[in-house]
Amino acid sequence: MGRMGFDFTQVGKRCDPLTFSYAWKDVVLYHLGIGARADELDFLSEANGPRVYPTFAVVPAFAANLQVLSGIGGNLLTVVHGAQRIVLHRPIPAEGTLSTIAWVSGIYDKGKGALAIVKTETADRGGPLFDTEWQIFYRGEGGFGGERGPEAATIEIPQRDADFREEQQTQETQALLYRLSGDINPIHANPDLAKMAGFPRPILHGLCTFGFVGRAVVRHACGGDAAKLRALEVRFAKIVFPGDTLVTEGWRSGAKVPLRVTTRERSESVLTHATAEVA
Question: For position 226, which CATH number holds?
Answer: 3.10.129.10
**How many other β-carbons are positioned within 10 Å of the β-carbon of residue 202?**
24
| Last residue in a domain, options 114, 149, 184 | 149
In this predicted structure, what is the pLDDT of residue 17?
A: 97
Shared domain for 105 and 15, answered yes or no, is yes
Do 126 and 1 reside in the same domain of the chain?
A: yes
Residue 46 · residue 117 · CB < 8 Å:
no
Length of the chain: 279
Check whether residue 94 and residue 223 sit in a common domain.
no
Asked if 22 and 135 sit in the same domain, the reply is yes
Number of domains within the chain: 2
**Count H helices, E strands: the chain?**
5, 10
List CB contacts of 161: < 8 A, sequence separation 6 or more. none
Q: Could you tell me the pLDDT band of residue 74, with boundaries at 50, 70 and 90?
A: confident
Per residue in 105-156, pLDDT (tens digit) is 999 999 999 999 999 999 999 999 999 999 999 989 998 888 898 887 788 8
Q: What is the model's pTM?
A: 0.95
To the nearest 10°, report the CA torsion of 146, 137, 139, 183. Answer: -150
| Whether residue 124 sits in one domain with residue 51 | yes
Mean pLDDT of 219-229: 97
Q: Which of 120, 149, 178 finishes a domain?
A: 149
Domain that includes residue 143, residue range = 1-149
**Residues 175 and 270 occupy one common structural domain:** yes
Average pLDDT over residues 172-200: 94
Say what percent of the chain tops pLDDT 90. 86
The mean pLDDT of 69-92, rounded to a whole number, is 92
Whether residues 4 and 141 fall in one domain: yes
Specify the higher pLDDT residue, 41 or 79.
41
Backbone angles phi, psi at 82, to 5 degrees: -90, -45
CA nearest neighbour of 235 among 268, 265, 215, 206: 206
Residue 2's pLDDT band (boundaries 50, 70, 90)? Answer: very low
pLDDT above 60 (res 3)? no
The answer on 166 and 142 residing in a single domain is: no
Same domain? 141 vs 163 = no
Question: What is the full DSSP assignment across 95-145?
Answer: SEEEEEEEEEEEEEE-SSEEEEEEEEEEEETTEEEEEEEEEEEEET---S-
What pLDDT, on a 0 to 100 scale, did the predictor assign at position 5? 83
Residues 131 and 185 in one domain: no
pLDDT score at 251: 97
- Is residue 137 within 8 A of residue 110, CB to CB? The reply is yes
Q: Do 125 and 255 share a domain, yes or no?
A: no
What does the alpha-carbon distance between residue 95 and residue 110 come to, in Å, rounded to a whole number? Answer: 40
Q: Which of 116, 149, 182 is the last residue of a domain?
A: 149
Dist CA 172 CA 45 (whole Å): 24
In the chain, what percentage of residues exceed pLDDT 70? 99
Residue 164 has pLDDT above 60, yes or no: yes
Q: Are residues 7 and 52 in the same domain?
A: yes
> What is the average pLDDT score of the chain?
94
